[in-house]
A and B are shown apart, each in its own frame.
Chain A
Amino acid sequence: MPEAAKSKPKESKNIRIVKDATCTFCGCVCDDMELTVDLDAHRITKAKKACVLGRAWFYEHTLEDRPVVLIDGKEATLDEGLDEAARILVDAKFPITYGLSDCPCEAQRVAVDIMDTINGNIDTTTSVCHGPSGMAFQGVGESTATLGEIKNRADLVIYWGGNPAESHPRHFTRYAVTPKGMFIPNGKKDRTVVLVDVRKTPSTPVADIFIQVKPGKDFELLWALRALVKGKKISEDIEEQTGVSREVLDDLVERMKNCQFGVLFMGMGLTMTRGRHFNSGAIYSLASDLNEFTHFVAKPVRGHGNVTGADNVVSWQTGYPFGVNFNRGYPRFNPGEFTTSDVLARGEADAAMIVASDPASNFSKKAIEHLEKIPVISMDVKETHTTRLSRVRFAVATYGINTGGTVYRMDDVPISLRPAFDSPFPTDQEVLEGICQRVKKMLSGSKARVAA
């Protein structure tokens, strides 16, 4: 190729503009993207309004030259892949499905159907993200709000254990800090922003007040705040324990009790560390307590584009948000028993279907070692450690870029996707439906797995 042509790609005339498209890279699910699509090159060349993560999401998802299906590393047809996947699942005694937070609800619904049909185990990335918050919710409930209400009303915004500037860049600008709202006419000027974390991060400059807590001491600090809100005594050595002085705590309590509409956003800095669901429960309880004085809400800042959809789908179909087992012909829930990390680390699962996630790179060593031993079916838009070790791998279209479907924002608001350009790869939903039909056929009649 001549040098000139390489550096300056031919201007394509076949350009399409997609207005109000949705970015599904993070739980902010911004639905105000303006995409410029080069239909000849099959790529998005511009993503107006996207943050740096969103731009990477849109620009890097091009059509890769990969086989649609690989079985044992060899290229195969879609039908062969679906047949083999169905056979693996039907032959297994303890089949599991995991992932699901980066595909639309329409696909998630089919995945639950498959596991219901074969008496399998279903779990989503929630279990290693805000699963502990889900458990805390079951214990104490939650006072919450959609992000638009926070934009319109919140005059006190507290982030705890999160770094949105790097994980959810537009959380500040689109929803919670800078935007003007109905009763927040001056945007950030009308809000007080507090950040609580174990270290300074790129999010820190946004805060009016930064509170640095000792690692692993969030629960102690939250419990002290609850006590102070209720007018109770707290231990004298609180600063020694948590790294935060009594003066700072008293000031924060006054601000919380006297604001008009307060919000506590919690990041994974709370759920992944010492205390896990107790930390989330403490946040929820603190926000609920504060309603005796003013209006207060709390909200986990969810990670993946549609992890909130996965929680919703699994809940409406089974009654439980994650970690669900159908072995007895009806759903049972038990974190620790039916959550994927545990099921793998204990060596229980004998086949796994992994949809749009990469446990082979982010699970514990023991879990990954077991995953290497059992037949794995994977669906992903890119190659990952998980697709590499899979018996059957499906290359699929990217949701929100090549496919439509429904996605739930971190505040449970459902949004429909607008695809930018077509993909020759099947969608997650199509692959899952193909597997589902085959599994049902193989198990029809006398072989049906009914309640044990």
Chain B
Amino acid sequence: MPSELKIANGRVYDPANNVDGNVQDLCIRDGKIVDSVSRSASRIDARGMVVMPGAIDIHCHIAGPKVNLARKLMPEDHRLDVHPKTAVTRSGTGGIVPSTFATGYRYATMGYTTAMEAAVPPITARHVLEELDDTPVVDKGFYVLLGNNAFLYKLLKEGRKKEFKEAIAWWVNSVHAYTVKLVNTGSDELWKGRKNANITDVNERIDHYDITPSFVTESFIEAAHELGLPHPPHIHCNNLGHSGNISTTLDTMKAAQGRRAHMAHIQFHSFGGEVNKNPVSGAQEIIDYINDHENITADVGQVMFGKATAMTADAPLAWMLRNVKFDKWVNADTECESGCGIIPFSYQESIYTHTLQWAMGLELFLMSKDPWRVLLSTDHPNGGSFMNYPKLIKLLMDSAYRKEALQHVNQKAVAKTVLPELDREYTLNEIAIITRAGPARALGLKNKGHLGVGADADITIYTEEEDREQMFNAPRYVIKDGTTVIKDHEFATDHKGKILHSKPGYNEDIATEIEPFFEDYYSVKFSNYAISEDYLHDHEEVPTNPKS
């Protein structure tokens, strides 16, 4: 017998289908939205409640070696925030970097049903897939770090763009990634090979390769376009966190030459001012560019006051932070592929730069003209935990609350922004766009982020409350693949969720080019590198759209 469910009389926000708070029914059969269900379908009476598609986190760090190192690093943080088991769910620990089970359940309790891990060195992808399998409820995928890949650099140096494209596709297929990720392009070689140096300019030559970060970025955007990846290269620009980095960010966006590109945690890349001086907000210039360029999508990477953890493939950045705050520090070099840095962190209202970043993020949101392209994230846990999302939503929806919050932060920093003048309040429909419909569109997930017929039945139902933080903190129901996972705020059942990945087509001959490189410079055998599909368990291949 098919399992059927009807959600009756809710106020539905489904921006992708132009439904803006209309009272209507939703019908679900076998995990999908359908036209109608039989009379015997079970029923949720959603009268007076707000119904939205399940939310999607387009950029977070929730699984894999760096996340696990951060977990191991902070026992003091876990013990303050235990996550007890229930009759149907596993136990774990929370804090700024929760255990896998706690991560999945906590996303669900905020109405999130999909989350994308944003930075995975390919050699460690097996580990990521194992952790994602232990991350319950949500669907998930990951972006593979290729922007500092030694073999790909070699191809670019030799001017072999065609093989470069094939090799990217080989990598995405071999590790079952969703799309490619670039982080501080070119920096790895300087970090590992030139005594912890860093790239400072997108037009600087990268040691040994005679190519520039700008050229690398452009080449990736072009290749991803031709391969038709569902989501374009996900880009963490150079010079993160440095005063005056807006010029780098603008140059990087220009390198897309009108093609699709996603700019990660754009707040961290919106600093005005001069190098090595106190930064000021450059949010206006960045958002103006994004507003005018439909090829660009971005997630904000909002900073929230309180505990955070810098956890990044940008090793020089973590080193810079370590030298500001002499806390325990992790660096982890991955052969031929990536760097990594971790440092516990906290954002404080009284500190100039922290307030500036907080305000810059809000400026970006409030000056964005297209909510479909400027999406909600905290770059969890870099700008703060994903558990802050409800509070962030309140900051966006409630200008009185925001004005009140402005009283308690560093006023010198506020003076360098236009935040006090921005009165905009996000509507529920716009929130549904920046947390659901927008991320789904940017990711190319046709079955998610909306509630039309054929969509995945990932649904959240909220009791409407004036305090938006409270409202978004505790949905009354969360339905995943048609199963009511949370019922009256409590877990009714456990649920696994699936892996989302893409399989760009390519010419398999490229493997014979890659293999000798492995024998020389990797420490694992080429034949043991690609990951068997056994690691995917439940999974969905999201189609590509190649340009031939």
Contacts and interface: CB of A to CB of B under 8 A. Distances in A.
Q: In their complex, do chains A and B touch, with some C-beta pair under 8 Å?
A: yes
Interface of A: 19-20, 22, 31-32, 105, 109, 113, 116, 134, 137-149, 151-153, 174-175, 180-183, 260-261, 288, 291, 293-295, 297, 311-313, 315-321, 326, 328-333, 406, 408, 412-416, 448, 450-451
B240 to A, nearest CB: 19
B86 A450 contact: yes
A149 B189 CA distance: 11
B541 to A, nearest CB: 21
Contacts of B336: 148-149, 152, 182
Given A143-B329, A145-B332, A448-B87, A315 B71 contact: yes
B91 A326 contact: yes
Given A19-B527, A32-B525, A149-B335, A116 B90 contact: yes
Instruction: List the 3 closest pairs (A to B, CB-CB), nearest first.
Output: A148-B335, A148-B523, A451-B84
Contacts of A293: 195
Contacts of A140: 328
B130 A414 contact: yes
19 contacts: A31-B528, A116-B85, A116-B91, A139-B328, A143-B331, A144-B330, A146-B335, A146-B523, A152-B336, A260-B193, A288-B329, A295-B192, A295-B193, A297-B331, A316-B63, A316-B68, A330-B92, A412-B332, A414-B126
A147 B532 CA distance: 23
Given A143-B331, A148-B524, A330 B85 contact: yes
Given A138-B75, A294-B195, 8 more contacts: A141-B328, A151-B335, A181-B521, A182-B520, A295-B192, A333-B79, A408-B127, A451-B84
B511 interface: no
Interface string B300-325: 00000000000000000001000000
Given A140-B328, A143-B330, A317-B92, A312 B68 contact: yes
A153 B150 CA distance: 13
A149 B334 contact: yes
A141 B124 contact: no
Contact of B193 (A151, A183, A316, A408): A183
B93 interface: yes
B522 interface: yes
B126 A406 contact: yes
B131 interface: yes
Contacts of B127: 312, 408, 412, 414
Interface string B184-224: 00000001110110000000000000000000000000000
Interface stretch (B9-17, B98-106, B259-267, B497-505): B98-106
A141 B191 CA distance: 18
A22 B528 contact: yes
A138 B333 contact: no
A58 B525 CA distance: 19
B328 A330 contact: no
A339 to B, nearest CB: 14
B73 A138 contact: yes
B342 interface: yes
A431 B319 CA distance: 46
Interface in B486-539: 520-525, 527-528, 531-532
Contacts of A414: 124, 126-127, 130
Contacts of B342: 141
B528 A329 contact: no
Interface of B: 63, 65, 67-68, 71-75, 78-79, 82-87, 90-93, 95, 98-102, 123-124, 126-127, 130-131, 134, 150, 191-193, 195-196, 319, 327-336, 342-343, 520-525, 527-528, 531-532
B331 A113 contact: no
Contact of A412 (B65, B87, B98, B329): B65
Contacts of B523: 146-148, 151, 174-175, 413
A32, A183, A315: most-surrounded residue (chain B CB, <10 A)? A315
A316 B71 contact: yes
B528 A319 contact: no
Contacts of B332: 142-145, 412
A425 to B, nearest CB: 21
Given A138-B73, A143-B331, A329 B91 contact: yes
A146 B340 CA distance: 11
Given A116-B91, A148-B524, A153-B192, A319 B78 contact: yes
Contacts of B343: 141
Contacts of B71: 315-316, 319
B47 to A, nearest CB: 33
A260 B92 CA distance: 42
Given A141-B330, A152-B521, A413 B83 contact: no
Given A295-B196, A330-B82, A333-B79, A137 B72 contact: yes
Contacts of B192: 149, 153, 261, 295
Contacts of B528: 20, 22, 31, 415-416
A149 B192 CA distance: 9
B331 A144 contact: yes
Contact of B524 (A134, A317, A415, A451): A415
Contact of A31 (B82, B86, B334, B524): B524
Nearest to A320: B75
A316 B91 contact: no
Given A141-B328, A141-B342, A153 B75 contact: no
Contacts of A148: 335-336, 521-524
B124 to A, nearest CB: 7
A152 B82 contact: no
Nearest to A180: B520
A182 B150 CA distance: 10
Contacts of B524: 31, 148, 413, 415
Contacts of A109: 130, 134
A391 B65 CA distance: 38
A153, A291, A297: most-surrounded residue (chain B CB, <10 A)? A291
Contact of A316 (B85, B124, B134, B150): B134
Contacts of A315: 68, 71-72, 99
A329 B91 CA distance: 7
A137 B335 contact: no
Contact of A317 (B134, B150, B334, B525): B134
B195 A329 contact: no
A415 B527 CA distance: 11
Contact of A319 (B86, B98, B531): B98
Contacts of A330: 82-85, 91-93
B84 A329 contact: yes
A288, A320, A414: most-surrounded residue (chain B CB, <10 A)? A414
Given A312-B127, A451-B84, A416 B532 contact: yes
A334 to B, nearest CB: 9
B91 A331 contact: yes
Given A140-B328, A288-B329, A318 B335 contact: no
Contacts of B75: 138, 319-320, 333
A317 B193 contact: no
B358 to A, nearest CB: 26
Contacts of B74: 138
B86, B327, B333, B522: most-surrounded residue (chain A CB, <10 A)? B333
A450 B85 contact: yes
Contacts of B65: 412
Nearest to A291: B196
B67, B91, B124: most-surrounded residue (chain A CB, <10 A)? B91
A413 B123 contact: yes
Contacts of A260: 193, 195
B529 to A, nearest CB: 9
Contacts of A320: 72, 75, 78, 93
B65 to A, nearest CB: 5
A142 B99 contact: no
Nearest to A285: B328
Contacts of B84: 328-330, 450-451
B305 to A, nearest CB: 24
A182 B333 contact: no
